[in-house]
Amino acid sequence: MLIGIDVGGTYTDGVVFDGDHILSSVKVPTDDNNLLQTLLQVLDELLNSLQNVDQISRIVLSTTLVTNILATGRGERTALVLIPGFGLPHNAYQITTDTFFLNGAIDFRGREIEGLDENEIITLAQQIKKMNFKRVAVVGKFSNRNASQELEIKELFQQIMPEVSIFTGSQVSNQLNFPRRAVTTFYTAMILPEWINFAGQIEAALKSRGLQSEIHILKADGGTMPLHKSLEKPCETVFSGPAASTMGALAITMDTKNSVVVDIGGSTSDLSLMIDGQPLYASRGAEIEGKLTHVESFSLKSVALGGDSPIIYNHETGKVDIAASRLGPAACFNGNAATVTDAFNQFYELGLGDTKRSNNFLGEIAALAQIPINELCDQVISQVFERLETEIKAMFLQWENEPAYRVWEVVNRSPFRLDRIIGIGAAAGIIVPQLARRLGVESVIHAYSPVANALGAAIVRPTMSVQLHIDTQQGICIAQPGGEVESPGNLNNMQMEDARKLAIEILAEQAVQAGLQDYAQDYSIQMEEQFNLIRSYHRSGKIFDVAVQIRPGFIHKYKGVKI
Amino acid sequence: MKPTGVLFFPAFDWAITPTHPEREERLLYTRDQLFEEGIMDLPQIREYHPRLASPADIARVHFVVPDLDSHITEAHLVAAGSTLVVADAYMNREIKNAFAIIRPPGHHAMSVSHGNRGFCNINNEAIMIEYMRKKYNIKRVAIIDTDVHHGDGTQEIYYNDPDVLFISFHQDGRTLYPGSGFTSELGGPLAWGTTINIPLLPRTTDEGIHYVIDNLVLPILKEFKPDLIVNSAGQDNHYTDPLADMRFTACGYAILNEKLAPDIAVLEGGYSVETALPYINMGIIMAMAGIDYSNLKEPDYDPGMFIESTKNMNAIEQIVKQQLAVFRHRQDVIEENRRTGPAWFNEYKRIFYDTDYIDEEQKVRISNCPVCSGVRLIDSSAQHRNGRLYDVFCISIPINLCPECHEKGNTIYKDMIKNGKYDLVYLQDRIDDKYLCYDSKTDQEQSY
Ligand SMILES: [Zn+2]
Ligand SMILES: [Zn+2]
């Protein structure tokens, strides 16, 4: 038996899944001020529905904790120390008010092109110490190619302020993009104390309930990681809720169509794309608090429009609008405001809840606007469709306009052809079929659609990836995660097959270390590049970049759902 | 403020030959530098996605012998198509200016293309400019070729067009490929003075080049009043370029682009892939986007590394003075040529394709029209590398010809088909956007 719990913005959903069906499900309102409490409430209700808790082999949690910490500014005050070298002006990297700059520079081949200034580092350390920072993030441009300057600074800092925790960019990411690496490292430093605390409480709570099951956290890339792994990279847990929904949509369809997944919640709708049955990734990484990061995430679009979005009459414009902030449930479900759900309920005669209440509350607004109720509903519904349609089309366009760096990528690109819309979330059944009809495609609303997010969390497999960069001329062989790698044999004789094999071996080794040996063979090649270095018409070396990953997918036992 | 458009197409899967300088690796470190800087994430920058140029886009500029498929690869179509993407974005006012960092390059490709010369098969800038003239009704264009090599292809394409100003500064043709670009090359009889060459001695520095920009290029631009300024942005004037011998710096390139303020810049050559390209490309983007570039420099650069000699400065001042006078006299000379010239102006040329080892012979005729710059006829023959000899006849009707010359060009096309002496007869009618190629062996006409 498997448990999946998704802590969303409005509601927290949980399911117990076994074999090919959901045994029980729970939905409770989320208490933003006490996510742990909400989570445990759902867990306890799920456990209460079971005879024997010993059979629970795995619990997967998706939580908005990291997003909440960053959004509310609860993260610990952190100094960001950058080594930007030459290029953009320093003000382009003023990521936070506590940003400091140091001399030094590494180039794209990992060569030191400007040395560090030890006195400058010591002076800065003393300043940071005086300012009472407990956390420091140190990030250098091209530290992904050569981490030595970051590490040297870390060592000097540690000597001067041993009580301070120091994070380096190279331990967080080795992808190109210095500002994203800086932001990701900075956020990691900020949120880690609270995350560690949270993880500890979860572990204790499970222990006190006598649970022996594995505990995993859901990531933005639609995969899981063991709880202890999340202590290294807590940022990866952002946007795991929408990722859970996307994976839930995949779980109930399990085919290779092109889909848009529309997860309609209380106050927001989350959109994601699936191409040939594979979720589409955000090419620029997850954007957290308005800043791009190196967190691998699905391409998501969140629209401030949900089933509980209230309908209002705007006295200034004389028009009917849909407000952004949720006041409570729909009138038909005993709420005290007319909502989007009520408009659909009335217009399409869906018979949801107390239809009289829908009618009454809508009537009040219709009277203000001096139009018939049906006209009001029609206006609201048109607005809902137009906004969702606009966002969906913008997502297609964005996908079609992704940059391409190879001839074959340009030649083989075709416009996005939509097959269907998959509706997820409680209000999806109300809105999605009509939306699909408008777009002239089929829609999928499954009996598990309302809890597909929790289902997705319950059954997805762990993901991990290894990126390997090899520069035979510079004698560089670096993996992320892991850092420098001992090359098997002479680096100069390395071929693409060898580089690929090495990356796969490193991935397998790391999977075993993380306790994920069952998935070590499920890898796929995410990216491979090789360049011949030509100097004066002669080959003088090679550069390889290989990324292997365990892609998002389902645990081996999962073969589809029965109702 | 609108962003600067950047289209980065490094063609990581294309090379002329495995060890040729025009290779996959060429923009690898530029990629690393641009991506690591995070410059594409800035609000001042918008990145664009390439597309393929259509056969008509190519035929608007080139007579490809024997046909497009014979030596124009998909990589060429993507590079040319990339310039059209940024042209559209610029004309639709999505961006304030644009830089297409693309390969393969194009500025050595001439009107007739029998193969690859100087690493180029088709001329990206000309394809973009003719597309913009046709689609957006752009009238006057200025091309500033800042590559170290003379942009002989672009010069040839616009040699007889008084509405397109072509200015190229480059390392002296006596010391560098393609061996042309002398001050005496000033444009055809009816477009005299809108081709301006500034040959520079090897080892010319920032100071010398900026003297040319300040005292020749900028004043001419001010007087010419172009609707569009294009920088044919080669980067091989750099002091570390392996194929040339100049002393220009990354900062020099950035300042140049700030002064020139091109609407669209298109990458041409530049083969110092590690020590120049990453920094120059950053510098050009920053200058075009209005980002402070004072923190940008090559790792080994030291101010005061290069000092211009008085002798060279004197020589440059001399050329600048001479060429400014040429430009300011151009109307008088054209009028004189028109009055005293024959009904057809004739020229005989030999063109060598260094990459493909092809020798081409051309007889060019331009009609002396009292109101326009005349229809251009090219009789070209060349033996291709597969041993086949091609005799082709090309008729070019630029977009600014008078109705009479337009008609004349179309009549000549029909006559030459009847004549039957040529393997292929081409009609390039930019006014009607009609591009035809008649094959006498098969008696078939292909239309683009
Ligand atoms: Zn060049
Ligand atoms: Zn005429």
Give the pLDDT confidence of B286-300 residue by residue, as tens digits.
999 999 999 999 999
Q: What is the mean pLDDT of residues B183-210?
A: 97
- The C-alpha R_g of chain A, in whole angstroms, comes to 26
Strands A278-279 and A21-29: unpaired
Q: From the candidates A82, A88, A184, which should be mutated to test the interface with B, based on the most B CB atoms within 10 A?
A: A88
Unique residue bearing structure tokens 């020798």: B359
Strand partners, A287: A292
Cα-based distances in Å from A256 to A2, A301, A446: 25, 22, 17
In the three-class reduction of DSSP (H, G, I as helix; E, B as strand; rest coil), residue A515 is classed as coil
Quick one: residue A541, left, alpha or beta (phi over 0 = left, psi -120 to 50 = alpha)?
Answer: left
- With CA atoms as reference, the chain B residue closest to A144 would be B36
B9 at interface of A, judged by CB pairs closer than 8 A: yes
Going by C-alpha positions, the residue among B414, B416, B409 that lies closest to residue B393 is B416
Closest Cα of chain A to B301: distance in Å? 11
Strands B45-47 and B4-9: parallel
Residue among B108, B150, B170, B238 flagged as catalytic? B108
Q: What is the pLDDT of residue A478?
A: 94
Q: What angle do CA A484, A462, A229 make, to 5 degrees?
A: 55
Residues in contact with B18: Cβ distance below 8 Å, sequence separation at least 6, in sequence order: A532, A534, A539
B278 vs B270: CA distance, rounded Å: 11
Which DSSP string corresponds to B231-265? Answer: EEE--TTBTT-SS---BB-HHHHHHHHHHH--SEE
Buried b (16+ CB within 10 A) or exposed e, A513-546: ebebeebbebbeebeebbbbbbeeeeeebbbbbb
Residues in contact with A312: Cβ distance below 8 Å, sequence separation at least 6, in sequence order: A320, A321, A322, A323, A365
Question: Is the separation of the CB atoms in B261 and B287 below 8 Å?
Answer: no
- With CA atoms as reference, the chain B residue closest to A91 would be B292
Ranges A464-468, A485-489, B70-74, B353-357: which has the least confidence: A485-489
Strands B97-102 and B195-200: unpaired
Closest CB to A107 among B242, B291, B299: B299
Find the chain A residues whose C-beta atoms sit closer than 8 A to any C-beta of B.
84, 86-92, 105, 107-109, 113-114, 141-142, 144, 176-180, 284, 292, 400-408, 410-411, 529, 531-534, 536-539, 543
Cα-based distances in Å from A474 to A255, A469, B29: 45, 11, 14
Q: Is the model's pLDDT at A505 over the cut of 90?
A: yes
Q: What residues in A contact B30, CB-CB < 8 Å? A: none
- State the angle between helix axes of B277-289 and B250-260 in degrees (0 to 180), rounded to the nearest 10: 30
Closest Cα of chain A to B73: distance in Å? 10
Helices (runs of H) and strands (runs of E) counted in chain A: 14, 27
Q: Is the model's pLDDT at A563 over the cut of 80?
A: no
Q: Read off the pLDDT of residues A76-127 as tens digits, 9 standing for 90 and up.
A: 999 999 999 999 999 999 999 999 999 999 999 999 999 999 999 999 999 9
Going by C-alpha positions, the residue among A229, A271, A222 that lies closest to residue A428 is A271
Please, how many CA atoms are within 13 Å of residue A24, restricted to the half-sphere of its CB? 11
Q: Is the model's pLDDT at A488 over the cut of 80?
A: no
Ranges A3-12, A168-177, A395-404, B314-323: which has the least confidence: A395-404
Q: What residues in B contact A177, CB-CB < 8 Å? A: 35-36, 38, 41
As to burial, measured by CB atoms within 10 angstroms (0-12 exposed, 13-18 middle, 19+ buried), residue A328 is: middle
Q: What is the pLDDT of residue B397?
A: 98
Largest Cα–Cα separation, chain A: 83
Q: What is the DSSP letter of A91?
A: G
- State the angle between helix axes of A340-347 and A355-369 in degrees (0 to 180), rounded to the nearest 10: 100
Reading the block at residue A496, the tokens are 């693409």
Cβ–Cβ below 8 Å for B279 and A408: no
Mean pLDDT of chain A: 93
The fold for domain A78-194 equals Rossmann fold (3.40.50)
User: What is the share, in percent, of chain A residues with pLDDT greater than 90?
Assistant: 79
Q: According to the 3-state scheme, what is the secondary structure of A176-232?
A: CCHHHHHHHHHHHHHHHHHHHHHHHHHHHHHHHCCCCCEEEEECCCCCEEEHHHHHC
Q: Is the model's pLDDT at A332 over the cut of 90?
A: yes
Q: What is the mean pLDDT of residues A322-344?
A: 93
Q: What is the pLDDT of residue A406?
A: 86
**Position with higher pLDDT, B197 vs A11:** B197
- Catalytic-residue membership of B108: yes
Which one of the ligands is nearest to B409 CA? 2
Cβ–Cβ below 8 Å for B31 and A405: yes
Cβ–Cβ below 8 Å for B29 and A534: no
Q: Read off the pLDDT of residues B92-132 as tens digits, 9 standing for 90 and up.
A: 999 999 999 999 999 999 999 999 988 899 999 999 999 99
A454 vs A26: CA distance, rounded Å: 9
Strand partners, A531: A543
A341 vs B180: CA distance, rounded Å: 74
Residues in contact with A115: Cβ distance below 8 Å, sequence separation at least 6, in sequence order: A103, A104
B42 at interface of A, judged by CB pairs closer than 8 A: yes
> Within the 263-282 window of chain B, which residues sit less than 8 Å (CB to CB) from chain A?
274, 278-279, 282
What confidence category does residue A178 fall into, taking pLDDT thresholds of 50, 70 and 90? Answer: very high
A246 vs A267: CA distance, rounded Å: 18
Cα-based distances in Å from A416 to A106, A395, B46, B148: 41, 10, 22, 43
Closest Cα of chain B to A105: distance in Å? 9
Question: Is the separation of the CB atoms in B251 and B283 below 8 Å?
Answer: yes
Reading the block at residue A404, the tokens are 């391409």
Closest CB to A292 among B8, B41, B293: B41
Closest Cα of chain B to A279: distance in Å? 21
Q: What angle do CA A301, A304, A306 make, to 5 degrees?
A: 105
> Within the 285-304 window of chain B, which residues sit less than 8 Å (CB to CB) from chain A?
286, 291-297, 299
Which one of the ligands is nearest to B369 CA? 2
**CB-defined contacts A:B, below 8 A:** 129
CA B418 to chain centre: 35
A427 vs A450: CA distance, rounded Å: 8
Cβ–Cβ below 8 Å for A407 and B13: yes
Q: What is the pLDDT of residue B445?
A: 96
Question: Is the separation of the CB atoms in B242 and B21 below 8 Å?
Answer: yes
Q: Read off the pLDDT of residues A196-255 as tens digits, 9 standing for 90 and up.
A: 999 999 999 999 998 989 999 999 999 999 999 999 999 999 999 999 999 999 999 999
Which one of the ligands is nearest to B372 CA? 2
ipTM: 0.93
Q: What is the mean pLDDT of residues B382-404?
A: 96
Q: Read off the pLDDT of residues A143-156 as tens digits, 9 standing for 90 and up.
A: 999 999 999 999 99
User: What is the share, in percent, of chain A residues with pLDDT greater than 70?
Assistant: 100
Q: What is the mean pLDDT of residues B127-145?
A: 98
Q: What is the pLDDT of residue B130?
A: 98
Q: What is the mean pLDDT of residues B374-382?
A: 97
Q: Read off the pLDDT of residues A535-548 as tens digits, 9 standing for 90 and up.
A: 888 889 999 999 99
In the three-class reduction of DSSP (H, G, I as helix; E, B as strand; rest coil), residue A488 is classed as coil
CATH of domain B4-332: 3.40.800.20
B58 vs B127: CA distance, rounded Å: 6
Which DSSP string corresponds to A215-279? Answer: EEEE-TTS-EEEGGGGGT-GGGGTTHHHHHHHHHHHHHH-S---EEEEEE-SS-EEEEEEETTEE
Q: What is the pLDDT of residue A151?
A: 97
Closest Cα of chain A to B155: distance in Å? 28
B94 at interface of A, judged by CB pairs closer than 8 A: no
What confidence category does residue A487 fall into, taking pLDDT thresholds of 50, 70 and 90? Answer: confident
Q: What angle do CA A8, A552, A499 make, to 5 degrees?
A: 140
Closest Cα of chain B to A413: distance in Å? 9
Closest CB to B51 among A88, A180, A410: A410
Q: What is the pLDDT of residue B392?
A: 97
Please state the domain extents for chain B. Answer: 4-332, 343-447
- With CA atoms as reference, the chain A residue closest to B12 would be A406
Q: Is the model's pLDDT at B215 over the cut of 80?
A: yes
What confidence category does residue A52 fall into, taking pLDDT thresholds of 50, 70 and 90? Answer: confident
Question: Is the separation of the CB atoms in A18 and A274 below 8 Å?
Answer: no
Q: What is the pLDDT of residue A408?
A: 86
Cβ–Cβ below 8 Å for B19 and A533: no
Q: What is the mean pLDDT of residues B5-22?
A: 93
CA B220 to chain centre: 18
Please state the domain extents for chain A. Answer: 78-194, 311-382, 465-550
Cβ–Cβ below 8 Å for B19 and A534: yes
A266 vs A182: CA distance, rounded Å: 34
Q: What is the mean pLDDT of residues A152-177?
A: 95
B37 at interface of A, judged by CB pairs closer than 8 A: yes
Q: What is the pLDDT of residue A412?
A: 83
Cβ–Cβ below 8 Å for B25 and A533: yes
Q: Read off the pLDDT of residues A374-388 as tens digits, 9 standing for 90 and up.
A: 999 999 999 999 999
